[in-house]
Amino acid sequence: MAKKLAVIGAGLMGSGIAQVSAQAGWDVVLRDVTDEALRRGTDTIRASYDKFVSKGKLGVEEAERALGRITTTTDLDAAADADVVVEAVFERIEVKREIFGTLDELVKDDTILASNTSAIPITKIAAATRRPERVVGTHFFSPVPMMGLCELVRGHKTSDETLAAAREFAEGVGKTCIVVNRDVAGFVTTRLISALVVEAAKLYESGVATAEDIDTACKLGFGHAMGPLATADLTGVDILLHATDNIYTESQDEKFAPPEIMRRMVDAGDVGRKSGEGFYRY
């Protein structure tokens, strides 16, 4: 019998996690608060499958079967019989704690409760439940169908069994895992990209070099596939500002203090590709 996954949040990350999981044989229920959000999520999944089919990377029937494994709902109760729940909502601790507190009352005793957070300590999320040993971080990367990494995060009370089950799930949907053994804000990957983006934004803000030249330096000098400022635009300057703020608040490490230009860009709505303008124009 296929295992059941509940994904909470049908945005870019949630829909991507649902997509790769359904393709790997999981029965997936995708939950969001509005039908419109669910429609956008399933449209994104369908378009992505179509792209894989057109490139010959996925068969038509295989794509149809995968789509057939995904159901959508606005009811959180639909997660009640899930074997694994992955939360992929906005990066606000209050929202995540409320969801995990509700899930704790709903799901089976042996269900794995995972968060796709990129910066919030898992221990803080797990504390909203009576089963912190069953809570783990599964930080996927965008776009999920294309990116091969999943960062597994051990909270202060996450059990070895839970970590092993999270690894089995992530590897089963085609990801390579790294393990974060100490639950620091930002984990490994968000700390690295945040430090790089903050310094790149400071260099840009102070007129040391253009955005293009800073990104070219990282691509050709360090072999990065994409420069830090283009990455900020792709991820969303608002998302990265929020992540760096979280890390700075937790660590009080000045290298994570976001420069003023990032705040002004967010104030102005220049948050990157999704708005048409960030460090670059689109």
Domains of the chain: 4-180 (3.40.50.720), 190-268 (1.10.1040.50)
239 in Cβ contact with 91 (< 8 Å): yes
114 in Cβ contact with 13 (< 8 Å): no
Share of the chain above pLDDT 90, in %: 94
Cα–Cα distance for residue pair 113/208, rounded to 1 Å: 45
Amino acid 64: pLDDT: 97
Q: Which of 88-92, 155-159, 228-232 is predicted with the least confidence, judged by mean pLDDT?
A: 88-92
Give the length of the chain.
282
pLDDT tens readout for residues 210-268: 999 999 999 999 999 999 999 999 989 998 999 899 899 999 999 999 999 999 999 99
Cα–Cα distance for residue pair 156/142, rounded to 1 Å: 26
Whether residue 274 has pLDDT greater than 90: yes
Task: Give the three-class secondary structure for 221.
Answer: helix
Range 186-214 burial, b when 16+ CB lie within 10 A, else e: bbebbbebbbbbbebbbbbeeeeeebeeb
| Whole-number average pLDDT of the chain | 96
8 in Cβ contact with 104 (< 8 Å): no
147-176: average pLDDT: 98
